[in-house]
Every structure is written in C-alpha cells, then in structure tokens.
C-alpha cells in the first residue's frame, strides 16, 4: 500500500524532530548538577579571584553550583592535564591562563597539546602586569631601577608565579631588552611571590594588577610602571615600561575552556552566559576595581587569540633561549 504524500511528510518531520530534540534538550537542561572549574594556580592570585567571580555569576545564573578546584603545580600544567583528562560532558571546565601560550614552546614533553585538547569556551578579561619592587629598593622609576640593577649585577632577584608564566616571560623580556643581570625565583603562584616581595626575599615582581592593587595602594610595595602599551585605568598615574624601554609590552589574560569534544551546544551556552556576565555593570565594576578589562568574544575568536599568542611567544622563547628550570 502506498503512503500518501502528506503522511510521508509528517513522518519525515517527526523523524527529524526526534533526531534534533535530544541535542536541543541537552543544551536547555544543562547544567543538571555541580560543575567544577579547575584553576591551575593556588588560591589568592589574580586567576583565582576572577575565576571565583565568574563562577559565582554562573552559579546564580544557571541554578547549579560552579565550584573552584585549585590544582596548582608545574607552571599550571598539572591543572591543565587534569582538565584534558576529564569527561567531555560540560561538568569540568578549565580556567585558562595566558601561560598556555608560553608553555607550548617552553615544555617539549607535555602529555597534551593544548590547542588540540582544550576547546576555548570564552575569553574573560585582559590585564596588565605591574612592575613593582620591594620598598627597600631605592629606585622610584624604571630608569632608576635599571641603573640600580646594573650597579648590582647578579644581586637582584625577581619573582614569578612559576616557570613559563607571563610574569616569568615579562622578566626575561625585560632582561633581554635592558641588559640587566637578574636571578629568576619561581614560586607556586602569585600570592607567595607577593609575600616574599613584601618581605624583601626578592626585589622585583611583574605582578598581574588584580593580585597586587590593594597592597600597592597600601604602600606595601612600590609600583614603577605597567607593562601594557597604554596606562591602566585602575592606576592612571603609573607610566608604562615602554616609556623607559621603547617597544616593551607584555600582559596576560584568562578565559574558560573545556575538554575536547565537549558538546558544541554547551560551549555555545556557556559562551553566551559568560559574555552576559562581562556586560553586567556589577561584574564590569568589580573587574575594573581589580584592574582587569573585560574582553568578551566568541569561542572561535578566543581560539584564534590563543593560536596567535602561542606563535608570538614561541618565537621570543626560542630567540631568547629561555628554558624551563
């Protein structure tokens, strides 16, 4: 018996609906339980502060807890590897540090390929680094610090939050462009680096602005300059390093990623919600207070940024012969 044309069309439409409904429903019901955000640095630093801010927004917006899980170590590679190996179901996310674009070249035996194994979900914000010194250092300007370091070769220690982090690369770039001789002292995160900067165990730190803005304002460290091309809105009185070292520019950023093969519908929904957070006046004000600049973009745009930065810093690392210690 032949089916009437109308019956065939109804059947085809119904079949198509059955095929698309699960995917549509999956996106609409996500999240159905707790979501963890792996933060590959210790609590208290800039990445941790911003991750908690966005995690709280997503918890309130989507009705399920987005909890922070700090997994520091190995210049953020331990936390990243944990995210790479997690199920690609949307219930494990990664706070992506800008250092991933450095580590791809700096470490040649990683168990993962970041660009291949992590899906960029959404950019969060960009932020300058602040060149800051212990208050006992006599320099009040970048030029004075260069003169001080050159008159004390090998006696100036500069901190970073780990090998290959933006703070480390900024320090090495500064050494290369100025010819100063400084010893790199890596820490497991920004908070312990700042503690030793205040205590005088190290003399210099290129700190992400959110980490140190309060202690700068409190006079516990002395800020000399910011590392971006333009002055920072949060500290407009500070000059740029480039004012004294032409061409110097270094900054960092952070975003959210997920394991490879996380459903596109979940990635798209998270991108939409995070971009909504970055447009919210309260979140924007809080980020501004931290010295961070919201940077909403698409998942594809964020992926391009990561690829471009990986190429840029890879060239610098090879040219300067920077090695993981």
Same domain, 123 and 134: no
Same domain, 134 and 121: no
16 within domain boundaries: no
pLDDT recorded at residue 201: 97
24 within domain boundaries: no
SS3 5: helix
Instruction: Indicate the pLDDT class of residue 27, thresholds 50, 70 and 90.
Output: low
Same domain, 117 and 138: no
How high is the mean pLDDT of the chain?
89
82 Cβ neighbours under 8 A, 6+ residues apart? 38, 71
Alpha helices by DSSP H, listed for the chain, are: 5-29, 46-62, 77-84, 100-106, 114-117, 142-151, 166-178, 190-199, 209-217, 264-279, 281-290, 299-320
Cα-trace Rg, the chain: 23
Q: Where among 179, 213, 243 does a domain terminate? A: 243
* Helix H or strand E segment including 254: strand 251-259
231 Cβ neighbours under 8 A, 6+ residues apart? 238, 239, 240
15 within domain boundaries: no
pLDDT recorded at residue 207: 94
Average pLDDT over residues 260-282: 97
Query: Where in the sequence is the domain holding 39, given as residue range(s)?
Result: 33-127+251-320
20 within domain boundaries: no
Q: What are the phi and psi torsion angles at 254 (to 5°)?
A: -150, 155
pLDDT at 318 over 60: yes
SS3 3: coil
pLDDT tens for 203-250 read: 999 998 888 999 999 999 999 999 998 898 889 999 999 999 999 988
Average pLDDT over residues 33-40: 98
14 within domain boundaries: no
Same domain, 263 and 280: yes
42 within domain boundaries: yes
pLDDT at 12 over 50: no
pLDDT recorded at residue 2: 46
Same domain, 144 and 232: yes
Q: In CATH, what number is assigned to the domain containing residue 259? A: 3.40.190.150
Instruction: Indicate the pLDDT class of residue 8, thresholds 50, 70 and 90.
Output: very low
Distance CA 177, CA 16 (A): 61
264 within domain boundaries: yes
Bridge partner list, 39: 70
- DSSP result, 106-158: H-S--SS-HHHHEEEEEEEEEEEEEEEE-TTS---SHHHHHHHHHHSTT-EEE
N-terminal to C-terminal alpha carbon distance within the chain = 77
Q: What are the phi and psi torsion angles at 221 (to 5°)?
A: -135, 165
Q: In CATH, what number is assigned to the domain containing residue 186? A: 3.40.190.10
pLDDT tens for 94-153 read: 999 998 999 999 998 899 999 999 999 999 998 889 999 999 999 999 999 999 999 999
Domain count, the chain: 2
Same domain, 239 and 275: no
Q: Where among 191, 209, 243 does a domain terminate? A: 243
pLDDT tens for 57-106 read: 999 999 999 999 999 988 899 999 999 999 999 999 999 999 899 999 99
The separation between CA 171 and the C-alpha centre of its own chain, rounded to angstroms, equals 17
Same domain, 173 and 188: yes
Average pLDDT over residues 304-315: 92
Same domain, 239 and 156: yes
Tokens 């190429």 correspond to 311
Closest CA to 230 of 246, 209, 249: 249
pLDDT recorded at residue 26: 56
Q: What are the phi and psi torsion angles at 323 (to 5°)?
A: -120, 150
pLDDT at 16 over 50: no
pLDDT recorded at residue 241: 98
pLDDT recorded at residue 108: 84
pLDDT recorded at residue 24: 47
Same domain, 173 and 138: yes
CA dihedral angle for residue 252, residue 258, residue 264, residue 268, rounded to 10 degrees: -50
pLDDT recorded at residue 226: 96
pLDDT recorded at residue 127: 83
pLDDT at 20 over 50: no
Same domain, 153 and 294: no
207 within domain boundaries: yes
Percent of the chain topping pLDDT 70:
91
Same domain, 198 and 285: no
Q: Where among 243, 273, 296 does a domain terminate? A: 243
Average pLDDT over residues 11-21: 46
Same domain, 306 and 280: yes
Instruction: Indicate the pLDDT class of residue 251, thresholds 50, 70 and 90.
Output: confident
């Amino acid at each position: 018996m032949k089916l009437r044309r109308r019956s065939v069309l109804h059947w085809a439409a119904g079949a198509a609906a059955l095929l698309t409904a699960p995917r549509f429903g999956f996106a609409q019901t996500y999240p159905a339980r707790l979501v963890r955000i792996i933060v590959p640095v210790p609590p208290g630093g800039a990445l941790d502060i911003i991750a908690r801010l966005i995690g709280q927004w997503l918890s309130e917006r989507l009705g399920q807890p987005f909890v922070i899980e700090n997994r520091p170590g190995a210049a953020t590679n331990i936390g990243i590897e944990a995210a790479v190996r997690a199920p690609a179901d949307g219930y494990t996310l990664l706070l992506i540090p800008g250092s991933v674009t450095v580590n791809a070249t700096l470490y040649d035996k990683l168990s993962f390929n970041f660009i291949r194994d992590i899906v960029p979900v959404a950019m969060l914000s960009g932020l300058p680094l602040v060149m800051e010194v212990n208050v006992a250092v006599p320099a009040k300007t970048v030029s004075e610090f260069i003169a001080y370091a050159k008159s004390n070769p090998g006696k100036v220690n500069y901190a970073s939050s780990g090998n290959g982090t933006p703070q480390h690369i900024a320090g090495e770039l500064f050494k290369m462009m100025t010819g100063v001789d400084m010893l790199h002292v890596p820490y497991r995160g920004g908070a312990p680096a700042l503690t030793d900067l205040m205590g005088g165990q190290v003399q210099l730190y290129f700190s992400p602005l959110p980490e140190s803005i309060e202690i700068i304002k409190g006079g516990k460290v002395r800020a000399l300059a910011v590392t971006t091309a333009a002055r920072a809105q949060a500290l407009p009185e500070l000059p740029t390093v480039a004012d004294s070292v032409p061409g110097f520019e270094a900054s960092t950023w952070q975003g959210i990623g997920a394991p490879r093969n996380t459903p596109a519908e979940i990635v798209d929904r998270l991108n939409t919600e995070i971009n909504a957070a970055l447009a919210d006046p309260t979140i924007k004000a809080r980020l501004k207070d931290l010295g961070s600049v919201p940077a909403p973009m698409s998942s594809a745009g964020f992926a391009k940024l990561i690829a471009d930065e990986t190429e840029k810093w890879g060239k610098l690392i090879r040219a300067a012969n920077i090695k993981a210690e």
